[in-house]
Homo-oligomer: A and B are copies of this chain.
Amino acid sequence: MLTSRSVKGEVKRPTIADVAREAGVSQASVSFALNGQRGVSESTRRRVIAVAKEIGWNPNGAARALSGAASNTIGIALRRPARILGIEPFFMELISGVEAELSTRSYALTLQVVADQAAELAVYRRWWGERRVDGVLVCDLRVDDPRIHVLEELSLPTVVLGAAAGSRSLGNVWSDDAAAIVEAVEYLAALGHRRIARVGGLPELLHTAIRTDAFAESCRRMGVEAAVTISSDYTGEEGARATRRLLSSADRPTAVIYDNDIMAVAGLGVAHEMGLSVPGDVSLVAWDDSPLCQLVHPALTALSRDIPGYGAIAARQLLSVIAGSSAESIQDDAPHLVTRGSTAAPSPKAAPKPAPKPAPKPAPTKTAVGKRSARPPRAATSPRTS
């Protein structure tokens, strides 16, 4: 490969002008040839492409963007302390799924960590103004989220992850969290649990509210005596603290459902620390089934979902919105329960026997593994009774 160098030793990037001169045609012809436009003969096209390759020409994205081309980049603005990012498996898995989809299309992902909502909105405005991204992925929706309004106003292609709160023009991808938590509650109730607690995520997030409501509602329906939700912030520390509080209360719950895996794992540690056996004394259920859940002992029963797949679907939808198709709302598979060693019937003294109205499932080790592999029939939501 030839590399022309300027006096300073700096490599000079070849432009289409160089290609044009070398190939003996006009710049316009080069542009046509390289972009598969009609207007050049096949022989000229081949020659131009050969020359371009030979002198190591690369399109200048800035120049293209200036002429209105796409940036081939999508953006995600993350509002959370940058340092926390690394310990949040959800995000990384999500991003890995997004990347998996983008990388096949040679799209790049731009990440920007922002401190607060104002900064996040400023980032969107800047990205839009600078044409730096073709579209954005938005997550952690809040009640009455102002981002929706801003993004609609800018008409920046957007896909929202999670339940869409009243956005008409933005795409969204969501899964039925309520159904998932109902599945977990029904399973625990069928095992005989009558005191179930939940360690929930940040209460200001939309999906937390949805889960909290569904939890309370289904516990009531299943005749669960005590159903508390403690709010937390997804960190292991908070999860441990909440667990400690729950397990040291007078009538401690016989089962705890966590809003993420980190907290569940931390909760398991606390149970061990307090000399309680899992699942003998207390059953634990995690939300999100990262490898963590399978590595600890006993392995954690979890509400599993294919997070990379979720990200991939969102990315795919965003790309199609960018390509011009209208924004729609896509429902992803609901998380499904994968039972493992951390759940069992409560010890006899803690719970009597009677089965409630819905016939309890056969229950025990429904070791769901294989199903997820190739993630095929995205239909079938969980068997939602009543």
Contacts and interface: CB of A to CB of B under 8 A. Distances in A.
Interface of A: 3, 10-11, 13, 56-66, 73, 75, 78, 81-89, 91-97, 99-100, 102-103, 108-115, 125-126, 128-132, 153-155, 236, 262, 265-266, 268-269, 272-273, 290-292, 294-297, 307-308
Given A83-B308, A99-B113, A295-B266, A60 B92 contact: no
Contacts of A84: 96
Contacts of A103: 82, 112-115
Nearest to A290: B87
A77 to B, nearest CB: 10
A370 to B, nearest CB: 15
Contacts of A108: 75, 110-112, 132
A64 B132 CA distance: 12
Contact of A61 (B56, B95, B131, B265): B131
Nearest to A89: B86
A66 B265 CA distance: 51
A114 B11 CA distance: 25
A16 to B, nearest CB: 12
A187 B131 CA distance: 55
Contacts of A96: 82-86, 113
A-B complex: 5 closest residue pairs judged by Cβ atoms: A58-B129, A86-B93, A61-B130, A62-B65, A85-B96
A13 B129 contact: yes
A95 B297 CA distance: 30
B131 A62 contact: yes
B115 A58 contact: no
Contacts of A272: 297
Contact of A86 (B59, B92, B154): B92
B66 A63 contact: yes
B265 A295 contact: yes
Most buried by B among A11, A66, A92, A307: A92
A28 to B, nearest CB: 18
Most buried by B among A56, A64, A97, A132: A132
A130 B62 contact: yes
A155 B11 contact: yes
Nearest to A100: B82
Contact of A155 (B10, B73, B81, B93): B10
